[in-house]
A and B are shown apart, each in its own frame.
Chain A
Amino acid sequence: MVELARKPVVLDVPATVGALGEIAAFVLRLAGRAGLGKGATYRIRLAVDELATNIVMHGYRGGGGRITVRGRAGPDGVRIVIEDTAPAFDPVAGRLPPAPGIPPERRRVGGLGIHLALTSVDSYAYARRDGRNISTLTVKADEGTDACPPRP
């Protein structure tokens, strides 16, 4: 189990494309606090960015809403919880693994973003609770655990 600091830091932003930079900066600060290496930092940033982008583009469907990001940094890694009140959406079910038989230009790139997110982290969990989508992501500090997905 990843041993993390008890007190989480919280960011609450409107679900807009403009807020994605703020979310990225928040994640990068946490990664820095945990002393993550370059690879792990890139992976947690990519995963949170893809999931948040998905909430903005498809979750609220331009209808407005908020995204809450909670993070904990510790010597062993970073854990991030992303919450939104958009309709229920389980990223694991919406994931689109690369399909070698289909030309890339005919694939749904959106589902691929979720695939990128889920293969970038060391652990991922989804829950729907009290009308909220709750995603929990963990990236370990150890660069040796770099989760590189297999070639499609």
Chain B
Amino acid sequence: MPLSVSLSIEGDTTVIELTGELDAKTAPEFHQTIEKAAGHGTATVEIRMAGVGYMASAGLRSLVFAQQKVGGEVTIKVTGAIEPVARTIRTAGLDRSIVLSDD
């Protein structure tokens, strides 16, 4: 089940937009994009997830990887996640370090 990933810069924010399904098969693609995003050196990395209809724990692993990759000074925001996806992020306790926003 496919995942499409796009990367852009908007001002001081690196935007990663995900559409599709984030699981063990597709997460490596997201991983690669995170590596690129970490190299941009912006203050915020925003991960737009409104188009993600399903996320397994492999997606959580990618978010943890993103945190480790960008370091403590960079804010990671996950925006627009549907409720079951947001619930998965909260279950892992990742909403303590990642900003989880409905916008």
Q: Is B43 an interface residue (CB 8 A)?
A: no
Q: Pick the contact of B91 from A56, A100, A116 — CB < 8 Å? A: A116
Tier of interface size on chain A: 20 to 34
Given known contacts A109-B60, A109-B92, what 11 new A-B pairs fall within 8 Å (CB)? A42-B54, A46-B54, A46-B88, A49-B23, A98-B93, A103-B97, A107-B64, A112-B92, A113-B58, A116-B92, A152-B91
| Size of interface on B: residues with Cβ below 8 Å to A | 23
Give 5 CB contacts A-B under 8 Å: A24-B1, A103-B97, A112-B92, A151-B90, A152-B92
Q: Pick the contact of A109 from B61, B87, B96 — CB < 8 Å? A: B61
Segment at the B interface, from A14-22, A63-71, A87-95, A123-131 = A14-22
Shortest beta-carbon distance from A36 to chain B in Å: 13
Say whether, besides A53-B56, A116-B88, A148-B87, A104 and B25 are in contact (CB < 8 Å).
no
Shortest beta-carbon distance from B50 to chain A in Å: 16
Q: Pick the contact of A42 from B24, B64, B84 — CB < 8 Å? A: B84
- The secondary structure that dominates the B interface is helix
Shortest beta-carbon distance from A99 to chain B in Å: 8
Q: In whole angstroms, how far apart are the Cα atoms of A24 and B97 in the complex? A: 30
Residue of A nearest to B68 (CB): A105
Q: Is B6 an interface residue (CB 8 A)?
A: no
Interface residues of A (CB under 8 A from B): 17-18, 20-21, 24, 39, 42-43, 45-46, 49-50, 53, 56-57, 98-100, 103-105, 107, 109-110, 112-113, 115-116, 119, 148-149, 151-152
Which residue, B56, B60, B67, B94, has most C-beta atoms of chain A within 10 A? Answer: B56
Q: Are A18 and B25 in contact (CB under 8 A)?
A: yes
Q: Are A53 and B58 in contact (CB under 8 A)?
A: yes
- List, in ascending order, chain A residues with CB within 8 A of B33's CB: none
Q: In whole angstroms, how far apart are the Cα atoms of A49 and B61 in the complex? A: 15
- List, in ascending order, chain A residues with CB within 8 A of B67's CB: 104-105
Q: Is B32 an interface residue (CB 8 A)?
A: no
List 9 A-B pairs, minimum CB-CB distance, nearest first.
A113-B57, A152-B93, A42-B84, A109-B61, A98-B93, A53-B24, A105-B64, A104-B94, A49-B56
